């Protein structure tokens, strides 16, 4: 990943970097890896994420 700093504006470059990392899901992965997650909890979380994703896709399909 490459971020260009324009006119020595580091604050703007950091905001762009943070936005790109958030879109990639970097912060979510770091949060999940920071504590141990039992296998049963992991399966439950993945199932809930899948259900949420399917509902969102169905909602978008119904709009069109």
pLDDT number for residue 16: 94
CA gap 19, 23 in Å, rounded: 6
Structure tokens given for 28:
């979510």
pLDDT number for residue 64: 78
| Contact of 17 with 3, CB cutoff 8 Å | yes
What is the separation of C-alpha 61 from the centre of its chain, rounded to a whole number of angstroms? 22
CA gap 55, 64 in Å, rounded: 15
In tens, the pLDDT along 3-19 reads 889 899 999 999 999 99
């Amino acid at each position: 990943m490459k971020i260009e700093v324009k006119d020595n504006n580091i604050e703007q470059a950091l905001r762009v970097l943070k936005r790109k990392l958030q879109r990639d899901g970097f912060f979510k992965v770091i949060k999940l890896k920071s504590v141990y997650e039992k296998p049963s909890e992991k399966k439950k979380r993945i199932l809930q994420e899948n259900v949420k994703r399917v509902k969102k896709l169905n909602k978008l399909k119904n709009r069109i």
